[in-house]
Amino acid sequence: ELPSPLTTEEIVARLEGASSSDHGEGVPDYKYIEPTSTAFDSFVDYVRNDEGRFLLGFPEVDLAMRGLARGEMLLVVGHSHNGKSQVLYNSIVTALLNTDAHILLFSPDEPRELVAQKLHCIAYGRNGEELEQQIKDGNEAVLEEVRVASRSLFDRILINDGALTFTQMSDTLKEAQDYWGRHPNFAMVDYLELQPGESDHTGVVAKAQGLKRWSKEASIPLAVVHQAGRGSGDRHKPALITAGKYGGEQEALAVLGVYRKRDDPSLSYLEKCYHSVSINVRVTKNKRPPNKLGDFEYFLCPHTGQIRPYRDDDIPPDDRYMR
């Protein structure tokens, strides 16, 4: 005989009974454990309130990853001079222009002056060489543009170009919090191998583990540039999940492989023209369910460094940008 259906009151009573903990009030304040229910509470809050996640500004990538949350680490992997840093610089500028993001950038690879120039060119659509010449010539309009930007838009990014230990990075974070009066929304490290420590397999893995630990303790989304190893395949092909030099990918929530098809020696002349200004971003690892992956092509402006969707009128008439 089938049981009779529960009434609404009985259903509510059972739910309340199931949700009540066997550990009532007066639970000790443990140091290392807490009820698993708090993890589910945090998970629900995490899913419902995704405005705290940092978006990279590339719609296809953001749809797959759904942003980078506090304590999560992203690795951006690729061969040298293939646009890894440029991808993240574009993400930073997009965030600065469209949100109230405050960003901390650790750049032991490039001096902060060069980073500032690249960010300015992306934000204002400036040609890097022309910007230098205009400043050298004393162009007052350009000088005023740079001054205003440095005190407004770019006052929300702080750049440290030293090779800092994790303790020094934490001290830098505290100084940034004091300067802004708030916590940063995002941090970038360029690049992993230049962090203090050994550069062999054990050292690189330890650095990746240390950065992951730092991002969790600092409660900040972190993107780390990571060089591809020599045995990771051709420059014109997508980097695999294990492409990073000496590893480190195990610590990341997601891995983006950046590559340029222009380096393919088998390209026809027309393909060379097309890919001379293309850049590909491949989501090769994504631990966020449903674990979407994908390979996405963009236009990389050879003058300004801007990365955006590739349009038909972007195709160069010749192979001038291959030279």
What's the CA gap between 194 and 207, in Å, rounded?
9
Whether the pLDDT of residue 68 is over 90: the answer is yes
Centre a 10 Å sphere on the Cβ of residue 164 and count the other Cβ atoms it contains.
17
Q: Which residue has the higher pLDDT, 133 or 26?
A: 133
Lowest mean pLDDT among 35-39, 96-100, 124-128: 35-39
What's the CA gap between 82 and 260, in Å, rounded?
6
Query: Residue 20's beta-bridge partner residues?
Result: none
Which tokens go with 310? 């590739």
Mean pLDDT of 162-167: 96
**Token pair 């090779």: residue:** 163
pLDDT, residue 287, reads 95
161 three-class SS: coil
Which is nearest to 76 in space by CA: 289, 276, 320, 249?
A: 249
| Torsion region of 156: left, alpha or beta (phi above 0 gives left; psi -120 to 50 gives alpha) | alpha
Lowest mean pLDDT among 121-135, 163-177, 217-231: 217-231
Q: Where are the alpha helices (DSSP H) in the chain?
A: 8-19, 36-48, 59-65, 84-98, 112-124, 128-136, 140-151, 166-180, 201-218, 269-275
Contacts of range 63-67, beta carbons closer than 8 Å, 24 or more positions apart: 63/292, 64/283, 64/286, 64/292, 64/293, 64/294, 65/253, 65/254, 65/283, 65/286, 65/288, 65/292, 66/288, 67/221
pLDDT, residue 239, reads 66
CA angle, 48 then 51 then 56, to 5°: 125
pLDDT tens column, 242-272: 555 556 788 899 999 999 999 999 999 999 9
CA distances from 96 to 54, 101, 203 (A): 11, 6, 34
Whether the pLDDT of residue 22 is over 80: the answer is no
pLDDT cut 70: percent of the chain above it: 85
pLDDT tens column, 271-308: 999 999 999 999 999 999 889 999 999 999 999 999 99
Whether the pLDDT of residue 124 is over 90: the answer is yes
Phi, psi of 176 (to 5 degrees): -65, -40
Which is nearest to 222 in space by CA: 231, 212, 232, 230?
A: 212
pLDDT, residue 241, reads 58
Beta-strand relationship, 222-227 and 73-78:
parallel
Rg of the Cα atoms in the chain: 24
pLDDT, residue 228, reads 82
Please give the mean pLDDT across all residues of the chain. 89
CA distances from 259 to 73, 80, 133, 202, 319 (A): 20, 10, 31, 26, 19
What's the CA gap between 80 and 63, in Å, rounded?
27
Whether the pLDDT of residue 137 is over 80: the answer is yes
Which tokens go with 298? 């963009």
pLDDT, residue 24, reads 55
pLDDT tens column, 190-231: 989 999 988 788 888 999 999 999 999 999 999 999 998 655
Strand order in the sheet with 103-106: 157-160, 103-106, 186-190, 222-227, 73-78, 254-259, 278-286, 294-300, 307-308
pLDDT, residue 44, reads 73
pLDDT, residue 1, reads 53
CB-facing half-sphere around the CA of 148: CA atoms within 13 A:
8
Domains of the chain, each with CATH number or no CATH: 55-259 (3.40.50.300)
